[in-house]
Amino acid sequence: MILDNFGLGWKLKFEQLIQFTLDTVKDSKTVSISRYKGLLNVIFEGVDKPSQYILDSISTQIKRDSALICETCGAHGVRKKDLTLLPEVKCLCWKCYALEIDSRESHNTRKDYPEV
């Protein structure tokens, strides 16, 4: 629902927390949910300063936690930046990183070189 544009790892870890936050903090809503430099960036909007402070604190904690969780599988991950192989920075474990790179390399290889 909320994190459909992201991998299963982040979805399993953070979707319930985001939904619980929206249900608990009165009249709160999400302004945006995006990946920013390999982190899950959730921006909430509250109705007053105290609720906005709580929402900002939760948003910061989600961002920090997402830096250590593989977006794809939920295992311990590290932000990966390889401009030649990954179009954007992602937080991945080594296994998912290898699979991602392998799928991109084989896809690029098939495109670049015709079969003989």
DSSP secondary structure string for all residues of 23-53: HHSTT-EEEEEEEETTEEEEEEE-SSHHHHH
Structure confidence at residue 22 (pLDDT): 95
What's the pLDDT at 107?
Answer: 60
Cβ atoms 66, 86 nearer than 8 A: no
pLDDT at 5 over 70: yes
Measured CA to CA in angstroms, residue 89 lies from 44, 56, 98 at distances of 23, 23, 14
| Mean per-residue pLDDT over the chain, rounded | 88
The alpha-carbon radius of gyration of the chain (Å, integer) is: 17
Angstrom CA distances, 70 to 14, 107, 115, stand at 12, 22, 35
- Helix (H) or strand (E) holding 80, with range, is strand 78-80
Q: How many domains does the chain have?
A: 1
pLDDT score of 113: 52
Mean local confidence (pLDDT), 4-27: 94
User: Which residues on neighbouring strands pair with residue 80, listed in sequence order?
Assistant: 90
Looking at residue 15, what DSSP letter applies? H
Amino acid at 50: P
pLDDT at 43 exceeding the cut of 70? yes
Full domain range(s) for residue 108? 1-116
